[in-house]
Amino acid sequence: MDQQDRIMDGDLQTLGLQSILKMLALSEKTGKLFVSSGPETLSISLRKGQIVGLHEEGVAQSDLLGMLCLVNKLDPPRAQMIREMAQGNMQMALAMLVERGWMSANEMQRCLEFAVTQSISHALRWVNGRFAFHRQIVPLETTMQPLNIDSVLLEALRQADEWEEIVGEGLTHLTRTTVARWLPEVSNDVRSLGLSQEYIEVLCLANGELPLQAVSLVLMTPEARVARIMVRLLELRLIEVVDTAMETELQQDLSNVIIKCQYTLAYQRHSSHPEQHLLGLITTLSECINGLLSHHGKFARSLRGRGQLPSAEIVRYLERRFAPSLQTLAKQHSILETATFAYGQLDCSDILTLNKVVKGEQLEEFYWEAVQGLAAFLRFVFTTLLTDEVGNSHTGRQLSVAWKVFLSEIDHEVQQYQVYRAHRHTQMARGRDTMQSSPVGLMQNLNGTPERDGGLRSPETQRRSI
């Protein structure tokens, strides 16, 4: 930007944002005011001393249309249509809603005015930072009616004072970037708690993705008021505050477990004998289960925030949580009675070394039963830990997609063995010699028959398609 166009700049400690805006309003300036503090920058467009636009940098832009759906002010198909046309431009999206009669022009103006007031209220609390006003930057056309600076400042100062009260009450663990989500164990009807509509709307928006600032915007409720509501919902144990750093670490760790399981499966996949194929599946399933257990020992909800825990306590937690389910599955798959928990891990050594005491068809039957039982236990372990760790959140949905890809590969291997097994039983029923079912026939089934012959697709093809 041309330095000659900059007619005013300085330090916020010398001249605060309130005074700057009042000066520009009194002199009826046209141009753009830039205010920055740390990674955040606020640009305010003025025309003849009135605010006609505002943009915040350093603040994640939330999906306003999606939020309107969460509070039942818009339905998802309409939201998707507007989203595709607006391409992330909030003002354009609101204008389209008004054009189609899905929002009143007055409501759009209130929403845009609230967004401006909210941002200025936040910037009024900046102590350190810089400002600069450029007079020749012509403001772009906007759907918002020009705003009187004195009126905006009056409301922004009121909101800033409310936030200072929050800080004074010691509620500093909540900020405008705080993200909350529903606790997974909540199962009762929240309407029985006597919550007002305002509380229910905040609860609806606590989906683990939206920061407090976005919740405030869509409800047009001051951030301090939303913070107080969140405090009450926390007390009622309906929501929890998301630790975004921990969540990132959790997601990366669990993704690594899934990727390692895929590599293990790929390594075990190529076998020319049914017993070896099943043994490879048992090895994959047991290693994946133990990878998930190790992960859960680090990220289980009841173990968080307690510092470095003794390994014995983690082991006790894992065994209390998962051993009963293993015992239940053993009633359906008796071979699982030989699997035990040791130091927080599933010990399948008796199954893996079963070929030392059992041979032939009986060994294959035991292996097949173990595959079915361990596959069911694997699904239970993953579902349990994902519900406990992230609940019904964006992170949970992403991890579920990756998990389904891996499970599709497991299912493919199981289905191929079932094809071979059915073929063998058909031959036996026809009185043929079972020895005619050669390993070559098994390999054709296990490694994927061509699709034109009606066979199943290979795991790699499935993974790409998913």
Ordered by start, the domain boundaries in the chain are 3-168, 179-241, 244-465
For CA atoms 68, 146, 212, 90, the dihedral sign is positive
Q: What is the DSSP letter of 367?
A: H
pLDDT digits (tens, 9 = 90+) for 100-130: 999 999 999 999 999 999 999 999 999 899 9
Q: What is the pLDDT of residue 456?
A: 39
Burial class of 23 by CB neighbour count within 10 A (0 to 12, 13 to 18, 19+): middle
C-alpha–C-alpha distance, residues 166 and 225, integer Å: 9
pLDDT over 60 at 437, yes or no: no
404: three-class secondary structure by DSSP: helix
pLDDT digits (tens, 9 = 90+) for 137-194: 766 667 789 999 999 999 999 999 999 888 777 766 788 888 888 876 655 566 677 8
C-alpha–C-alpha distance, residues 24 and 31, integer Å: 10
Lowest mean pLDDT among 67-81, 283-297, 452-466: 452-466
C-alpha–C-alpha distance, residues 278 and 434, integer Å: 19
Of 21, 43, 18, 19, nearest to 158 (Cα)? 18
Mean pLDDT of the chain: 83
- Assess contact for 206 and 190: CB atoms under 8 A: no
pLDDT over 70 at 4, yes or no: no
pLDDT over 90 at 379, yes or no: yes
pLDDT digits (tens, 9 = 90+) for 207-230: 888 899 999 999 999 999 999 999
Cβ-based neighbour number of residue 44 at 10 Å:
27
Helix or strand (DSSP H, E) at 297: helix 274-299
58: three-class secondary structure by DSSP: coil
Q: What is the pTM of this model?
A: 0.66
